[in-house]
Amino acid sequence: MKNDIYRERPFMVFLSRLFDILVLNFLCLLLCIPVITAADAISSMYYVMMRMIRDEDTGTFHDFFHFFAGNFLKSLPFAIILTAVNGMLYFWLIGMAFSSRTSPAGFGAVIALTSLSIILFAWVLLLFARFDNTVGNTFGNAVRLATANPARSLALLAVNGLMTGWFLISPDTFVYILAIWLFLGIGTAGYVSARLALPVFDALMPEKETIPDPLEEEKDDEGTGKGEEGL
């Protein structure tokens, strides 16, 4: 937001951004329902969040649907892989969680694989929202960024895997927390994920003005593609 009046009123900025997050939460949730559009919807949310943080947004609806429409076909391979891998892992995880014949080692292995999947796909969709690259290169770069930034990866796991963990720890209260999550949690997780990723992406594009780093880590100088926003 570039309006100087709003800049002088932090509370108004907060309310404006909260409204934007609520709108993006709703749009992402709605467009994830067809499943095949989930990757595009999540990436569109990340795209707008990063523009919002960089103060480059031109309108929540405009930016979201501009990215969503322009990248729908490109997002389909990601959507198929995301649905297949996460669908299998979550089905496996929930089945083992309620089975009396599950070994602790087997259950732990599935939790570890699910956690790695959450981290990997968070980086993949963040990269897709920011850079124009092939599917293979995007996944390869996601693996490199995930391993080069372990603290950020764990933070991405915490915000994006919160509901999975809550379901496993307290299934009785899950439905109540899920209602809150569906109302605001998706957008909040998207905003936090964008804040975590932007300092890393800024290190790959040093000519751009950098964003304050929430983890206060040194920036990583590894390249990940063409250095262009994902349109």
- Domain ranges (residues) in the chain: 4-204
CB 125 within 8 A of CB 224: no
Residues 6+ apart with CB under 8 A from 114: 89, 90, 93, 161, 164
Q: Is the pLDDT of residue 228 over 60?
A: no
Q: Label residue 170 by pLDDT band (50, 70, 90).
A: confident
Tokens at residue 42, please?
A: 């999540």
Q: Is the pLDDT of residue 8 over 60?
A: no
- From 115, 190, 108, 184, select the one nearest 153 (Cα to Cα): 115
Cα separation, 52 vs 44, whole angstroms: 12
Lowest mean pLDDT among 12-21, 111-120, 198-207: 198-207
Q: Label residue 101 by pLDDT band (50, 70, 90).
A: confident
Average pLDDT for residues 205-220, to the nearest whole number?
Answer: 55
Longest dimension (CA), the chain: 62
Residue-averaged pLDDT of the chain: 85
Tell me the residue type at 147: T
Cα separation, 17 vs 1, whole angstroms: 9
